Amino acid sequence: MSASDDKKTPLYQSHVDLGAKMVPFAGYEMPVSYKGLREEHNNTRSNVGLFDVSHMGEFRVVGPQSLEFLQYVTTNDVAKLKKGEAQYSLLLNEKAGVVDDLIIYCVEENKNYFLCVNASNADKDFKWLTKLNTYDCELTNEGDEWSQIAVQGPKAFSLLEAIYGSAISKLKPFNFDNFEAEGISIIFAATGYTGEPGGEIFVKNNDAKKLWDLLLDKGQQYGVAPVGLGARDTLRMEMRYALHGQEISEERLIVGAGLGWVIKHQKGDFIGKQAYVNAKEKGAIEKLSCFKLKEPGIPRAGYKLINEAKEVIGEVTSGTLSPTLNVGIGIGYIAADQAVVGNEIFVQIRNKSVKAIVVKPPFIEK
């Protein structure tokens, strides 16, 4: 697909007008940066950043057996959700590989659920779920109806309160509600991918530009700035948040990824359960770990991780120069017996072995 074939979010022209560098991503033309990755990253950590994440996929599940369907296709316990609550979860395949990770929003208990999935997996996910839907419920793809704007940073709720009032900042993490101001109706969820306070706003496409402009205008006093995909990636890496296609995938067993907390195998049957239980009983042969370089360098996905004897013990899944710490950091799978906090390892960067140390996640405390 050429760039000219890529879809554009309703905020595309806003990004161009702001001088964003646009790149193809998940079938869309998306902003990778505006003023620069480091500046956007640091501003999100110190003030407030705006992210266009309208490329994400949105599905709706409604009907009398909505809960039963979602319990079967996802790993977390959807029955625990009350109206206005959300949960992080996984779609597994039969081998306990990850089809995708997602957030499930309970609009009405047992009857109406809203799903947010990864942009690059949206079409695949919809086909997967459609194939599995033998239940009395209707699955619809609402991705073309919604835009999504993330508002993240220590001053995020100050900005949101300036528009929507104090009620918005009273929402607990992973809760959501409807709000309206300036003639714009939104769904605000206290979720995010940066480790900072704030949340994610779902808004109908027709109101997306109006909302974006309103957030930029009202946010001037709070140091608001738009943020591209580049800083979104470094922000999530510092928190050790998994990215599908890198830390988790269909080919790799989920058992070593440190996501057991969203796999409720006691709840009943679900896709991939038996394979997960079997793998868990055997024990993970590799574990997703964090490491920090002790020498100059930048780890990148695909680089080999080795021990002092120059034996390969793992592989980098994500890496960057941390704008907050100003050192190279990485996430990767390491052989279980080597994946010990404090263990010294080496990253094979081109022909050089660069010293690193396994550290406890996340890289920065929030």
Residue range 146-179, pLDDT digits in tens: 999 999 999 999 999 999 999 999 999 999 999 9
Report the C-alpha gap between 313 and 84 in whole angstroms. Answer: 44
Residue range 258-286: mean pLDDT, rounded: 97
pTM, to two decimals: 0.96
CATH node for 3-53+145-238: 3.30.1360.120
Residue range 260-285: mean pLDDT, rounded: 97
Among residues 76, 49, 165, 69, the alpha carbon closest in space to that of 112 is found at 69
Q: Which residues pair with 52 in a beta bridge?
A: 149
Report the C-alpha gap between 316 and 243 in whole angstroms. Answer: 13
pLDDT at 187 over 60: yes
Report the C-alpha gap between 194 and 297 in whole angstroms. Answer: 23
Reported as type and span, the H/E element at residue 23 is strand 21-25
Backbone angles phi, psi at 172, to 5 degrees: -75, 160
Give the amino acid at 139. L
* Percent with pLDDT over 70 in the chain: 99
- Higher pLDDT among residues 351 and 132, named by residue: 132
Contact present, 29 and 3 (Cβ < 8 Å): yes
- The packing angle between helices 156-164 and 205-218, to 10°, is 110
Tell me which residue has tokens 């263990």. Answer: 343
CATH node for 285-366: 2.40.30.110
Q: What is the total residue count of the chain? A: 366
Question: What number of helices (H) and strands (E) belong to the chain?
Answer: 8, 20
Dihedral through CA 28, CA 231, CA 120, CA 86, nearest 10?
-120
Question: What end-to-end distance do the CA atoms of the chain give, in Å?
Answer: 39
What would the two tokens of residue 81 be? 């959700």
Residue range 101-120: mean pLDDT, rounded: 98
Within 8 A by CB and 6+ apart from 211, the residues are 147, 149, 184, 186, 201, 203
Contact present, 140 and 58 (Cβ < 8 Å): no
pLDDT at 3 over 50: no
Report the C-alpha gap between 176 and 250 in whole angstroms. Answer: 30
What is the structure's pLDDT at 5? 77
Contact present, 18 and 209 (Cβ < 8 Å): no
Report the C-alpha gap between 90 and 99 in whole angstroms. Answer: 8
pLDDT at 2 over 60: no
What is the structure's pLDDT at 38? 98
Residue range 204-211: mean pLDDT, rounded: 98
Residue range 259-268, pLDDT digits in tens: 999 999 999 9
Report the C-alpha gap between 244 and 323 in whole angstroms. Answer: 22
- What sign results for the dihedral spanned by CA atoms 6, 9, 15, 20? negative
What is the structure's pLDDT at 152? 98
Beta strand 304-306 with 344-349 is antiparallel
Of the pLDDT bands very low, low, confident and very high (cuts 50, 70, 90), residue 350 is very high
What is the structure's pLDDT at 4? 57
Looking at the chain, list the stretches that DSSP marks H as alpha helix, in order from N- to C-terminal side: 12-17, 37-46, 66-73, 122-132, 156-164, 205-218, 229-238, 273-282
Of the pLDDT bands very low, low, confident and very high (cuts 50, 70, 90), residue 254 is very high
Q: Kindly report the average pLDDT of the chain as a whole number.
A: 97
Beta strand 7-8 with 28-33 is parallel
Domain ranges of the chain: 3-53+145-238, 285-366
What is the structure's pLDDT at 366? 76
Contact present, 356 and 330 (Cβ < 8 Å): yes
Residue range 69-106, pLDDT digits in tens: 999 999 999 999 999 999 999 999 999 999 999 999 99
Contact present, 205 and 52 (Cβ < 8 Å): no
Residue range 175-187: mean pLDDT, rounded: 97
Give the amino acid at 353. S
197: preceding bond cis by omega (within 30 degrees)? no
